Each structure stands twice: as C-alpha cells, then as structure tokens.
Amino acid sequence: MSYLSVSDAQTLLQSRVFTLPAEAIPLRQALGRTLAAPVLAGTDVPPFARAAMDGYAVRADECPGTFTVVGQVRAGTVWPTPLEKGQAVRILTGAPVPVGATAVVEQERVIRQDNTVQIERAIRPGWNIMEKGHEYRQGQPLFEAGHHLDALSIGQLAAVGVATVSVRQRPRILVATSGDELVAPGAPLGPGQVYDTNGPLFEALLTHWGAMVDRAVIPDDSDQVAQFFHDPKLQHYSLVLTTGGASVGDYDFIPQIFARDFERLFWRLDMHPGKAVAAAQIGTTVAIALSGNPGAALIGFYLLVLPALAQLLGRPFPLTAVEGVLTTPYPKPTRETRFLKVRLLPTDQGFYAMTPLEDQSSDAIRSFREADGLAVIPHGAPPQPAGTRLSGWLLPTGP
C-alpha cells in the first residue's frame, strides 16, 4: 500500500489553515508575536551626530594643538553655538556633537590644564562620533511581515520610535493526549502506567512558537473519543493536536472516527517513525492526530504541525532544507521514507557531514537534545553506506 508523502501532507494541511487576522498592540506587549506588516524606520538612529565616549569636541583639522574649553554638553542637552577656531567643548557620551566639531578626542588622550586642553597627535575627522543615521536611516526597512518579535526586535523598534505594532492574532490550539496508561507528572504511578510526556512537551513547544494552548485528556473509549471531536467548543481553536490512538490497535479509534464523522484528510504517511498520523477537517478546525510515542510524535510535530502553525502566523516555512553525507553507514533497508536523527557538521564543500545518533527509537526524546537535524533516507532504499549523499532538514531551535 502506498501512503501520502510528507511533502504532500504538508501542502494539504497548509491549504486548510489560513493566516490569522492582524491586530494592533502596544510594543511592550509584543514579545513573542509575529509582525503582520513590514516596519520602516520612522526616524534616523541616532537622530543627530553624537559622542561615542567622554572627551572633548574639537575641529579635527586643528589637531595637534591647544584648545580653550568653553563649556560642557551632556546627553539630553545641545551646545547653543557653532564651535569656533581654537575652542573645545567638554562632551559626555551620547551628547549631540556641537556644530562645527568634527572629532571627539577621548579624555585619556588630552592634557587638561585649567581651562585648556592640549592634544598632541593628529586626529582624523569623525573620530569617536556616531554619525546621524549610523544605525538606521529614516524609511529604511527594519522587519518584514512574518518576523518573530524577540527581545532584540523590541529594542530595535523602540529605537526608531515605534509604540504600536500590527501583529497576527495568537492561534488557539488544543493539545489532547489519549491513553489510559498516562498519568500526570507528580502523581504516583500505578502498574503499567507512565507519565504523560506529550501533553507538557507540545504545550511548551506551541507556547514557545506563539500559540495559546489548552490541554485535555481523552480516555481509551470510542464513544468518549467521538464525543471529544464532536464537541462544539473545538470550533474555537485554530488547530487541535492529539497524540495516541491514531494507529491500528484495538483502542486506536481516531482514524475511523475521522473517516466516519468528518472529512478525513489522510491517515498514515510515508514516514518512519511516526507513520501512524491522521488529519481531518472538523468544521472550521483542522485536527492532527500524531503517534503516542513521544519521539515519533515530535518528528510529526516538526514536519506537519509546525508548518501549519507558521501558516496561521504568516511566517515563512519553518524548516531549512540541507544536503549532507553520511559519516557512518545506516545498516537497514527502508520500507517507508526514514527520518534519521543526525548531528550536522558543516564542511568546506558546502554540505553537511551527517552522523546518525545511536538512539533512533520512536519513544525516545532525549536524543533530540543531541540532534541538529533529520536526514531523509528515501522510501524503499537499501542499507546506506558511509559517504551516501542525502537530503535533510535542520531542526528548528526556536521561532
């Protein structure tokens, strides 16, 4: 049986989710949000030529020489008259450079005596002066739509006087884990029980990428699973993400409910690990059901959920394609397309050296700490010797 490719599944999901509307919010509330429109600098930064350090403002073409100190200017004040020949103004860091001055000589380089300073060396024009517009020019593009606003971005916007920004509304996403064996962290484990890894993991990842996340638990009961997906409250969410219950076991009810009650978009993909994945259109909401194995679910998150989230936020496709060469052999033939956790090391030849991690199990997430990317071994490939050229993806570290 042939299954839908990951690439086709990505395209299908992205055709079913739509970029969220924009809203205007104060800059101080914009950390972690996504710009909905480009931002241009509204002013030069700095808006005037200013001193880069404490010293004396002079005419560079008069150096070396002796100068009369006629006053002091500090940040937030302006020297009122043009600098005349033979004059120096004591200037502090960040202060506007007086008209006529062409250099600021740091205080350590002068000899001060009463109201004069002696400068014993030639000084080039522009010395220790940060020119007007040195960092940004008025009208210069700062950020494009789709830019993620981190702390540095907030500072850059503040520097050009931006007080309000147009950003995408935050997507609401419901994360639901299924499995009677799951126990919330902190509770005692009973026989055959394990702690719920997927719920906290995907809540944290989605929040980190800019979503508002709610959590739910689905029992291993077909009626209750159906009731969960028929709940009208699901229409309040941009995405519903579930883990577990998507394979072919006796308690894997989700694929059949998707097919019976909704528009099932796909079930099982040409990918390993994580083949047991399903998606459905439920009213205006898209539901994605990932594997219950945390490692397999995490690969499904990176390859399927994250691109859909980027579409909601109007961001670029979040995965970076790479090319590389295996440094060690991969000894197994592949039935489905294999996504192999690898360490990536750039080479002088313009591709990566790809070293497969020892732990490739579908239930492990610790090895993702060591992985930089996923190498892609094609569907039906024989064992891969060292030196095989492969394509792959960089694992994103943040929005």
What whole-number distance in Å separates Cα of residue 297 and Cα of residue 300? 5
Contact in structure between 198 and 222 (CB atoms under 8 Å): no
Say if residue 218 is in the same domain as residue 154: no
Helices (H) and strands (E) in the chain, counts: 7, 25
Say if residue 114 is in the same domain as residue 153: no
List the structure tokens of 345: 């090391």
**What is residue 381's predicted lDDT score, i.e. its pLDDT?**
95
In a domain, 36, yes or no: yes
What whole-number distance in Å separates Cα of residue 78 and Cα of residue 355? 61
Domain end marker among 313, 330, 350: 313
In a domain, 1, yes or no: no
Q: Which residue has the tokens 């969220």?
A: 20
With H, G, I as helix, E, B as strand and everything else as coil, classify residue 357: coil
Say if residue 162 is in the same domain as residue 29: yes
Residues 6+ apart with CB under 8 A from 282: 229, 234, 235, 240, 262
In a domain, 13, yes or no: yes
With H, G, I as helix, E, B as strand and everything else as coil, classify residue 215: strand
State the pLDDT confidence band at 1, using cuts at 50, 70 and 90: low
Say if residue 245 is in the same domain as residue 212: yes
Helices 306-313 and 6-16, interaxial angle, to 10°?
30
Say if residue 126 is in the same domain as residue 196: no
**What is residue 248's predicted lDDT score, i.e. its pLDDT?**
83
6-62, pLDDT tens digit by residue?
999 999 999 999 999 999 999 999 999 999 999 999 999 999 999 999 999 999 999
In total, the chain counts a number of residues equal to 399
211-239, pLDDT tens digit by residue?
999 999 999 999 999 999 999 999 999 99
Residue 144 has pLDDT above 70, yes or no: yes
In a domain, 62, yes or no: yes
358: domain CATH number is 2.40.340.10
The pLDDT > 90 percentage for the chain reads: 92
Number of other residues whose CB lies within 10 A of the CB of residue 357? 17
With H, G, I as helix, E, B as strand and everything else as coil, classify residue 286: strand
> What is the span of the domain harbouring residue 85?
50-130
Say if residue 387 is in the same domain as residue 329: yes
Q: What is the mean pLDDT of the chain?
A: 95
Domain end marker among 313, 330, 358: 313
Contact in structure between 178 and 243 (CB atoms under 8 Å): yes
Q: What are the residues facing 390 on neighbouring strands?
A: 324
Residue 398 has pLDDT above 80, yes or no: no
Say if residue 269 is in the same domain as residue 197: yes
Say if residue 57 is in the same domain as residue 161: no
In a domain, 114, yes or no: yes
**What is residue 106's predicted lDDT score, i.e. its pLDDT?**
96
Contact in structure between 277 and 300 (CB atoms under 8 Å): yes
What whole-number distance in Å separates Cα of residue 104 and Cα of residue 257? 75
Report residue 34: phi and psi, to 5°. -120, 125
Say if residue 155 is in the same domain as residue 27: yes
Q: What are the residues facing 393 on neighbouring strands?
A: 321, 374
146-169, pLDDT tens digit by residue?
999 999 999 999 999 999 999 999
Q: What are the residues facing 112 on neighbouring strands?
A: 117
**Overall average pLDDT of the 110-121 stretch:** 95
What whole-number distance in Å separates Cα of residue 249 and Cα of residue 256? 12
Say if residue 214 is in the same domain as residue 277: yes
Q: How many domains does the chain have?
A: 4
In a domain, 399, yes or no: no
With H, G, I as helix, E, B as strand and everything else as coil, classify residue 299: helix
C-alpha Rg value of the chain to the nearest Å: 30
What whole-number distance in Å separates Cα of residue 291 and Cα of residue 339? 15
Say if residue 361 is in the same domain as residue 252: no
**Overall average pLDDT of the 98-117 stretch:** 96
145: domain CATH number is 3.90.105.10
What whole-number distance in Å separates Cα of residue 51 and Cα of residue 137? 18
Domain end marker among 266, 296, 313: 313
**What is residue 364's predicted lDDT score, i.e. its pLDDT?**
80
**What is residue 276's predicted lDDT score, i.e. its pLDDT?**
92
Residues 6+ apart with CB under 8 A from 293: 273, 274, 362, 363
Say if residue 201 is in the same domain as residue 296: yes
Contact in structure between 330 and 323 (CB atoms under 8 Å): no
Q: Which residue has the tokens 């519903």?
A: 240
DSSP states along 264-283? EEEESBS-BS----EEEEET
In a domain, 60, yes or no: yes
191: domain CATH number is 3.40.980.10
77: domain CATH number is 2.170.190.11
**Overall average pLDDT of the 237-245 stretch:** 95
332-384, pLDDT tens digit by residue?
999 999 999 999 999 999 999 999 998 888 888 888 999 999 999 999 999 99
In a domain, 239, yes or no: yes
